[in-house]
Amino acid sequence: MIFETHAHYDDDAFDTDRDEILRLLHEKGIAPIVDIGASVKSTEEAFLLAHKYDHVYAAVGVHPSDSADLTEKDIEWLKGLTEDPKVVAIGEIGLDYHYDEPDKEIQKKWFVRQLFLAKETGLPIVVHSRDAAADTLEILSRDEFRGLKGIIHCFSYSFELAKKYVEMGYLIGVGGVVTFKNGRKLHEVVRQTPLENIVVETDCPYLAPEPYRGRRNSSAYLPYVIEKIASLKGLSYEEVRRATYENAAALYGVRKDE
């Protein structure tokens, strides 16, 4: 089995064949799958998918790019969802300074608020951080958030930073980008990060690995990611598959036995 730690099957890109894909993935041994909320609407849909499929679980949370209209009422609603056994994480939450909106202070406010939610509920976090290395590290390093566990998803920074996160107890999420020719920085991160701190993810429908780059991604392509990690680290496919499965199962607290 392969553990898919980060997918968005609630996305419109899967409207025509969502059920077929999720059923096929299970047959192909890709399970569990964690469907990650990114807005109020997608969190709602992730929650429904998790209840429709035995092998699908949900992360509930609001992505920084969708945080502009958040209210304390939404946080209370998220908190209510966390009482459900199929909700396994708070995410994706974080900071995205790639675009100017929403304002950095608004993004930080809701990132911090959702980190407190993770702390209150004891759930791990799924962190999205893009062009925001310093502020993400500063916030996650605060005393009040020490002891939180989670995944730094679609890791795009240097090995030095990956090392800091590993020392803090975080896992590094590796996806399709690792197969790209221009993925040198990430190759270095993968080579040097201990296997016990790596999990695999797709972020589908985005970021399909080679040879499918640019097309709609799906968890069926995770073997390409595992293969690339294995080759970068000089390990077998099976060693990487098993370790990334165990790392994810321990973090999310769920497994679909092999």
Span from 174-182, 201-209, 223-231, 238-246 in contact with Ni ion (CB under 5 A): 201-209
Piece in contact with Ni ion (CB under 5 A), picked from 107-115, 144-152, 199-207, 216-224:
199-207
In angstroms, what CA-CA distances link 94 with 26, 114, 138, 197, 212?
A: 30, 9, 12, 20, 28
Q: How far apart are CA 208 and CA 221, in angstroms?
A: 7
- How far apart are CB 229 and Ni ion at their closest, in Å? 19
For residue 203, state whether it binds Ni ion (rule: CB under 5 A): yes
CB of 146 to Ni ion, least distance (A): 25
Tokens found for residue 159: 């090995």
Strands of the sheet containing 56-60, edge to edge, are 2-7, 30-36, 56-60, 87-96, 125-130, 150-152, 171-174, 198-200
Q: How far is the CB of 36 from Ni ion (least distance, A)?
A: 5
Is the distance from CB of 66 to CB of 95 less than 8 angstroms?
no
Provide the CB-side half-sphere exposure for 211 (13 A, CA): 0
Stretch that binds Ni ion, among 132-140, 158-166, 200-208, 217-225 (CB under 5 A): 200-208
Give the contact letters, 65-94, x = binds to Ni ion (CB under 5 A), - = no.
------------------------------
Shortest Å distance, C-beta 126 to Ni ion: 8
| Residues found near Ni ion in the complex (CB under 5 A) | 203
